[in-house]
Chain A
Amino acid sequence: MRTYALRRLALGAPVLLGVSVVVFLVIALVPGDPAAAILGSYASPENVAKLSAELGLDRPLPQRYLRWLGGVLSGDLGRSYALDRPVLDEVLDRLGPTLILAAAALALSVLFGVSAGVAAAVRQNGWADRAIGLALLVGVSTPSFFLALLLVLLFSVELGWFPTGGMSALFGDGGLVDLLRHLALPSITLAAAAAAILGRMTRAAMLDVLRQDFIRTARAKGVDEDRVASVHALRNAAAAIAPVIGLQAGYVLGGAVYVETVFQWPGVGRMLVEAIGRRDILLVQGGVLAIATLYVLVNIATDLLQAALDPRVKA
């Protein structure tokens, strides 16, 4: 298990390197002069020329990449001209709220997705299975930006139970309770589709396991059905579900862009949308790099979780 863990971690390094190349190349996609695009249409030619030199735009791409990577590794992601502050500072400020939102959404989606999948599988083809299947289908098909709107209209505007948006700091005036009140609608919105996908996967994985011989053995021993489902089937299905949770982390991190925008959640997602609107490309680069790195790490973690759940993985 330990060697496996080390190997898996080592495999993450080239992927991260690849991610950095892709993020770097984004700027090469910019039509025309990136420096002009970054500074906007009112920039003076001198400033454009200065930034051009700073970014090394006159040099060949590989050389620029190495320079850029060196900067990234030493914590220099460039400067956001619109915000007039280093990209790293802005990204770090925004990362916390996104992490809170994504973690809450992921936890909700695992809780509801896995339980729905298990409940559907053990009642396969019964009315409960059909009802859950329909709910999951609607969940998969609902645009999160539409769901966000519906929830705000119903629970905030009509019923007034939750705030329509924003976030209060954990150590702010409202404390934890206020944070949770602000977190409720965004995290539910973000969790919905991920939970639906997880539910479908869980159901399929459970049915796969329930067909196996050892389930029959458990029943032949007279083990009760709750235990057959939870201890025998789910524990075996868990190894198949863990990587799906990793994928859902990606979905949640991406979907945060919509949810943060609708609920004015001060995270990286909203920052990205605003930055794209301002053509603040360096800030976009920094935000994308941060989230992608986080996602790579989450996937390594779920792979390790999968290995830990299966005693047959030794090496």
Chain B
Amino acid sequence: MTLAGLAIVGVLVAAALAAPLLPLADPDLTAPFNRLAPPGTPGHPLGTDHLGRDVLVRVLDGLRVSLGVGVGATAAAALAGSAIGLVAAYYGRFVDGALMRAIDVLMAFPYLLLALAIVAALGPGLVNAALAIAVANVPFFARAARGAALVVVRRDYVDAARLAGFSDLRILLGEVLPNVAPLLVVACAGTIGWMILETAGLSFLGLGAQPPQADLGSMLGDGRKVAVAAPHVAAAAGVVVLLLVIGLNLLGDGLRDLLDPRLKAGAGGAPQPATAVERASVPPASDLGGLLDVRGLTTAFDTANGRHAAVRDVSFALEPGEALGVVGESGSGKSVAALSLNRLAPTPPGAIVAGRVGFRGDDLLDLAFEPLRALRGDRVAYVFQDPLTSLNPVMRVGDQILEALRPAPGEGRAGLRARMLALIADVGLEDSERAARAFPHELSGGQRQRIGVAMAIANRPDVLVADEPTTALDAMTQIRVLELMGARAKERGAALLFVSHDFGVVAALCDRVIVMYAGEIVEEGPTREVLRAPRHPYARRLIACAPRLGEPDRALEALAGAPPPIDAIPRACAFSPRCDHAIEACRAAPVALEPAGEGRRARCLRWRELADA
């Protein structure tokens, strides 16, 4: 798109600049006997206007005038505006206050009106019109420059320059301006089309270019008077303005994306309703059965340097009513794995590229969106990490629970409401009527997460996935909410998949545990066994550094280092760079997940020797 813009602007600018050099007719040469000739007339490819002047030549001429005026007005506005903005940001306090109040006042005028008032005072004319448009745009540049400069003037090197005794002017031009310049270029590029349009508008109204001088606006104005008899006169000028401004806007958008990617509209993109599934092949269902049967699940993310798996070949089963913990540091892929089950991992940039998620005979990765949606929140429900961001801030929490509830056959609004209130009471909030009317920000963190639990258990799901549900809460609240969640899940017979970085919390809640590292399962087994005798060195470290509930004073071993980023996972045991026991073989090839005792698996070459040691 940017290239298209560049092409349009390039061609138009070249044509406008070349026109005076080409052997074309004089744009002001009138020919009274050849008035309003239609396009295609020999010698006049676009026809002639009401004075018999050649339209093509005149449009090129007007284009040059409009371009010149637009560039001049933009430059003037940018210069004056950024000077004001820089001075305001640099001196701050009183100077800033006074200048910005003045700018506010100018911004209080509808855009074109200020320009009109100025033209009214100065009198019509192209220069006056351009000046008026420039003045009307000064506030925009002043604000943009001030905003960008404010960030810069607080930096150390500006202070250093001040201490070194440099003059204010030198600091402004030498240190501040270069940092603000890219933003000003973006602002200019985004505004120039608009300025050309508005100056042409004033000419169109007869307040800009005065005959015999003409820009595209005044040509449109002339053309309008004969529009019914000879629409080509106005159309030629209009189409050229339109093309020019489209080209400039495309170019401005492209330049903005290039120089200031943060402003890029919809950068990164919003997630689709369900994670994309792009599997080459589908593994068969296992004969293990189970309620949830996850086989070879692999979820990848598109990054700047290609697609990389954040979750690799994850397989596990979840029995009805069971509580399974998934433990790992942040970046271990545990949350992505949990979100992938219901296809809630964000696409873009994510996609599930391999595996299957068996649930009651269906492969969830194979479902169309509607059946998947029917299942979401009904059979498989989620509790998320931060209850403040995961609740809608402008919706009453009662309504948010209400929309989670699936009506039973024949159940009306009143029935649903009663169930909603009962749920609020059930998760331990007093005065459920009042709590239902509250907005999320009116509740405490613990109360918010109770609402989160209420939404999740609303339909007695078969599987409850909790993704770090208490990490954002303080220690006491954590325990209470965990107990509540465990109890409510158990009462309703829901299997619990509990994701956490905290071995202690998992130990308190789960029968079985999976340890993940760098997107892979590295250890799996009954919680008590894993805690007593971890097989994998990483699991051992996690356990050593976990606070135990009720033992807040236990000395914790810090976990040094961090898991590798997903685009730099070694083709070896992924833990080898951090492992105290690594040997040559560990770094030679990836390590397989193998059985390691009764109901246990581990991904370590040396688990046997280390267990004996």
Contact = CB atoms under 8 A, between A and B. Distances in A.
A231 B255 CA distance: 34
Interface residues of B, number: 80
Interface stretch (A2-10, A79-87, A215-223): A215-223
B546 interface: no
A264 interface: no
Interface residues of A, number: 87
Interface in B161-177: none
Interface stretch (B69-77, B204-212, B304-312, B534-542): B204-212
B224 A262 contact: yes
B376 A232 contact: no
Contacts of A137: 246, 249-250
A143 B197 contact: yes
B108 A18 contact: yes
Interface string B100-111: 011011101111
A300 B393 CA distance: 24
Interface string B503-539: 0000000000000000000000000000000000000
Contact of B403 (A29, A143, A223, A262): A223
A252 to B, nearest CB: 8
Nearest to A218: B392
Contact of A258 (B108, B124, B204): B204
Contacts of B123: 31, 279
B112 A227 contact: no
A176 interface: no
A69 interface: no
Nearest to B224: A149
Contact of B395 (A138, A200, A216, A231): A231
A15 B377 contact: no
Interface string A206-248: 1100111111111111111101100110011001000000000
Interface in A142-188: 142-146, 149-150, 152-153, 157
Contacts of A215: 270-271
Given A121-B270, A214-B390, A218-B392, A146 B249 contact: no
Interface string A245-259: 000011101110110
A124 B377 contact: no
A114 interface: no
B421 interface: no
B384 interface: yes
B384 A213 contact: yes
Contacts of B204: 143, 145, 258
Contacts of B294: none
B468 interface: no
B373 A224 contact: yes
B520 to A, nearest CB: 25
The 10 closest A-B pairs by CB, nearest first: A254-B112, A18-B105, A210-B270, A29-B121, A221-B377, A146-B238, A222-B377, A222-B376, A250-B110, A207-B266
Given A141-B246, A145-B224, A292-B113, 5 more contacts: A145-B217, A213-B390, A220-B342, A258-B205, A276-B120
